[in-house]
Amino acid sequence: MSTSQKHKNFVAEPMGDKPVTELAGIGETLGERLSNEGFDKAYVVLGQFLVLKKCEEDFKDWLHEICKANSKQANDCYTCLKGWCEAFL
């Protein structure tokens, strides 16, 4: 599986206070939509990921519903958070 540079950068270090747009698959448009729904930081999206028990299908469905992420964007974001959790949790 190939990952983007954005994914590699995100997974390489603690999350801290990174904006949601630092997540792989989340650009300016989706980032703005997520921020408008209260998900302005990557750690807030991580919280939702964990609430959904890291379930791939549920997380991707949620991301599509909340910000209209397409399947590639949702997959990139899911893979990014999953990789971060494997590295830091």
**Domain map (residue ranges) of the chain:** 5-88
**Cα 87 to chain centroid, rounded:** 15
Return the pLDDT at 4: 87
CA distance 1 to 51: 26
Tens of pLDDT along the chain (89 residues)?
567 899 999 999 999 999 999 999 999 999 999 999 999 999 999 999 999 999 999 999 999 999 999 999 999 999 999 999 999 99
Q: Do residues 65 and 57 touch, judged by C-beta distance below 8 A?
A: no
Encode 77-88: b = buried (16+ Cβ within 10 Å), e = exposed. Answer: bbbbbebbeeee
CATH class of 5-88: mainly alpha
